[in-house]
Amino acid sequence: MDLQAEMMRRIEDALPGAKVRLNDLTGTKDHWQAVIVAPGFEGLNRLKRQRAVFAALGELMHGSNAPIHALTMQTMTPAEAEQE
Amino acid sequence: MASAHDRIDAMVKKYPVMLFMKGTPDQPQCGFSQRVAMVLKDHGKPFASFDVLSDPEIRQGIKEYGEFPTIPQLYVNGELVGGSDIVSEMYIAGELQDMLDKAEMPE
């Protein structure tokens, strides 16, 4: 399984129209950085946005042998992304 | 022995500013945990912390309790605030200071 492609697919499925940038922080495919711009974040606070992403990644993040150990992320709506 | 959930619940209710982290504030064992501990030390208000590396049951239990799969996790007044991303963003935006000021630590 190409983990990065799988992460991308799941986030895009869960957040239609999302633009996702993934960065392997350590080269070991278990510490990731994500920048996600999605219309679906509209009206969600920071915690709900992150929970939506964690839910999309599902078992990739949960359980002791989950492949992803750490995920740092920026979650923005298209409007917020423009102000960056 | 109380379940992990009950032990966590007790800590979160007892300490209005409660940080579950890897390591301790003075010896953090992970960059993300260190970032949150530094933000709290920078703010200067006393806070309680728990080293999840010292207790595998709490380390797993906190993820279920918070419905949040990573560590660190910061709780203020019994509510999950978030991990290092959210705490950092709120600190930069000045939102965290008000929240922490409203949290009453027991004397």
Q: For residue A72, what are the contacts with CB-CB under 8 A and spacing of at least 6? A: A25, A32, A33, A34, B32, B84, B85
**ipTM for this model:** 0.88
Bridge-partner residues for A32, per DSSP?
Answer: A24, A71
pLDDT of res. A63: 77
Q: What is the mean pLDDT of chain B?
A: 94
Do A50 and B68 count as a contact with CB atoms less than 8 A apart? Answer: yes
Q: Mean pLDDT throughout B53-73?
A: 96
Position A17 scores a pLDDT of: 97
Residue A73 has which token pair? 């992320």
pLDDT > 60? residue B12: yes
Q: Point out the residue among B32, B67, B84 whose CB comes nearest to the CB of A51.
A: B67
The answer to whether B85 contacts A50, with C-beta atoms less than 8 Å apart, is yes
CB atoms within 10 A of CB A55: 14
Global pTM reads: 0.93
Helix or strand (DSSP H, E) at B95 = helix B95-102
Token pair 């960056």: residue? A84
Residue A41: both structure tokens together: 């974040």
Among A residues 32-51, those touching chain B with beta carbons less than 8 Å apart:
46-47, 50-51
Q: Which residue among B32, B63, B89 places its CB closest to the CB of A70?
A: B32
What angle do helix axes A3-14 and A46-57 make, rounded to 10 degrees?
A: 130
pLDDT at B106: 58
pLDDT band at A1 (very low <50, low <70, confident <90, very high): confident
Those residues with Cβ within 8 angstroms of residue B1's Cβ, 6 or more apart along the chain or in another chain: none
> Which residues of B lie inside 8 Å of A (Cβ-Cβ)?
32, 60, 63, 67-70, 80-86, 89-90
pLDDT of residue B105: 62
A66 to chain B: closest CA residue: B69
For each of the domains in chain A, give its residue range(s) and CATH number, in order of start: 3-79 (3.30.300.90)
Residue of B nearest to A35 (CA): B85
The dihedrals phi and psi of B54, each to the nearest 5 degrees, come to: -90, -5
> How many angstroms separate the CA of residue B80 from the nearest CA in chain A?
8
- What single string gives the DSSP state of each residue in chain A? --HHHHHHHHHHHHSTT-EEEEEESSSSSSEEEEEEE-GGGTT--HHHHHHHHHHHHGGGTSSTT-S--EEEEEEE-HHHHHH-
What tens digit of pLDDT does each residue of A63-74 get?
Answer: 778 999 999 999
Which residues 6+ apart lie within 8 Å of A23 measured at CB?
A: A32, A33, A34
Residue B107 exposed, middle or buried by CB count within 10 Å (0-12, 13-18, 19+): exposed
Residue B30 has phi, psi (to 5 degrees) of: -155, 145
Stretch B21-25: mean pLDDT, rounded? Answer: 98
Q: Is the pLDDT of residue A27 over 60?
A: yes
Q: Nearest residue of A to residue B79 by CA position?
A: A47
